[in-house]
Amino acid sequence: MSSTTAVMSDDLMVNDFITRGAAGPVPRLYGDALVVAARADERIMCLCADLAGATETDAFRDALPDRFVHTGIAEANMIGMAGGMARCGLVPFVHSFSVFATRRCYDQIAMQVAYPRLPVKIVGFLPGLTTLLGVSHQAIDDIALMRALPNMTVIEPEGPRQMRAAVEAALAVDGPVYLRMKRPDAGYHDDGEGSPLLPGQAEILREGTDGTIVACGLMVEAALEAATILEREGASVGVLNMATIKPLDRGTLLHMARRAPVIVTAENHSIVGGLGSAVAETLLEAGVSVGFARVGLADTFAEGGSTPYLLKKFGMTADDIAAKFRAAAGRSS
C-alpha cells in the first residue's frame, strides 16, 4: 500500500469513528437543519474540507449535490472560494474541524471574509476537549481568535437542543459568523423539541441570588450540575447560557452580576481570550465589582483522551465549577 493510500485510509477511519461514535450512530441535527434551510433559500451553498460525515454535511451532499462543494483538505482555499461565492450573492456555509476552520486559515478569514463583512458562515466541529485525536485536533484558542476579528459573530450552541436553531441564528446575522459545534454523543435521543437561539441574547436557565455561572457549549450542562451541588449546600446560584460569545449580551450579564455578588465562567476552551475574558472585560468596563473566577483550560495544551477524562484531569467538571464558585464567594465577602 502506498503512503498516500495509507493516509487516505486513516482519514476515512477517523471520519467514520467520529461520525458513528463508540456506541453507534448519532442523529444529524445540524446537517438536517442546514438542508431544510437550503431548500427554503437557494442562496445557501455548502463547502466541506473532506469531512462530510464528521460535519454532518453528507446530508447536504446527498440531498442537494449541485450546491455541495468538496474542497479537499484545503481550508484556506475553501475560505477563498466562499468569499468569492458571497461576493456573487450566495450564502456559503464552510465546514471543517474547529481548529482547522480557524487557526489554519486565519489570514484568509480576516482578509477575505471578516474585512469585507461577507455573509460566510464558518462551522467548526470538535471544539475544545471533545476528541481522542489529541493536541493537533483540539480547538482551544478558536474563540479567542474569532473574537478578535472585527465584524465576526461567534456562536456556540449549548448542546443538541440548540443545534437546529444555530443554523437559523447564523442566517439571521448580516455578516460573517463562526459556529462552534459539538455533535451529540452516541446514543443521544432526539425528541424533536429544540430550543431558540437568538444572536446576541443570553438564556437565563436558572435564577440565583448568591451568584451566577456563565457558561457556553457543553459546559452549560456542567454549570447546571454545579448549581445543583451548591444548592444542596444552601447557595442560590443562577446559570446563564451565553450561546453568543460575540457580541456578548451585556445587558443580561450586568443584570445578573448586579443582583448577585459572584460570577464564575465555564468554557470548553482556554481561559485566555475566551468567554471568561469577554465577561471579565464587560464587568470591569461597567464598574461592576464581583467575586470572579474562570473555569476552562488553564493556559496549557491538553492530550488525547475521552472527554470525561480530559475534563476531570484539567479541572473542568461540575465539582470543579462548584469549587471555583465557593472560592470566588469567599473573596467577595
Instruction: Kindly list the domain boundaries of the chain, sorted by start residue.
Output: 3-181, 203-332
Q: Which residues pair with 68 in a beta bridge?
A: 46
For the domain covering 203-332, report its CATH number: 3.40.50.920
Residues of the chain with pLDDT > 70, as a percent, come to 92
For residue 184, the 8-state DSSP code is P
HSE-up (13 A, CA, CB side) for residue 265: 28
pLDDT at position 186 is 72
Tell me the pLDDT tens digit for each residue of 60-70: 999 999 999 99
- Across the range 268-281, mean pLDDT stands at 98
Q: What is the pLDDT of residue 2?
A: 34
pLDDT by residue (tens digit) across 228-254? 999 999 999 999 999 999 999 999 999
Contact 113, 145 (CB under 8 A): no
The whole-number pLDDT of residue 25 equals 67
**The pLDDT of residue 313:** 97
pLDDT single digits (tens) 89-122: 999 999 999 999 999 999 999 999 999 999 999 9
**Res 178: pLDDT:** 98
Instruction: Give CA separation, 51 vs 102, 130, 156, in Å.
Output: 15, 16, 20
Helix pair 318-332, 219-232: axis angle to 10 deg? 60
Q: Which residues fall within 8 angstroms of residue 42, CB to CB, at 6 or more apart? A: none
pTM summary value: 0.92
Across the chain, what does the average pLDDT equal?
92
The answer on pLDDT for 7 being more than 50 is: no
Secondary structure E strands in the chain: 44-48, 68-70, 91-97, 121-125, 153-155, 177-181, 203-206, 211-215, 237-241, 244-246, 262-270, 291-297
User: Do 3-181 and 203-332 show the same overall fold?
Assistant: yes
Query: According to the model, what pLDDT value does residue 12 have?
Result: 44
- Residues 258 and 262: their CA atoms lie apart, in Å, by 9
Q: What is the model's pLDDT at position 333? A: 55
Cα angle 216-289-284, degrees, rounded to a multiple of 5? 65
pLDDT single digits (tens) 11-56: 444 444 454 444 456 778 999 999 999 999 999 999 999 999 999 9
pLDDT, position 172: 97
- pLDDT tens digit sequence for 150-192: 999 999 999 999 999 999 999 999 999 999 999 988 777 777 6
Give residue 1's pLDDT band: very low, low, confident or very high (50, 70, 90): very low
Binned at pLDDT 50, 70 and 90, residue 332 comes out as low
CATH class of 3-181: alpha beta
Q: What pLDDT is attached to residue 16?
A: 45
Tell me the per-residue pLDDT of 203-222, one tens digit each, with 9 for 90 and over: 999 999 999 999 999 999 99
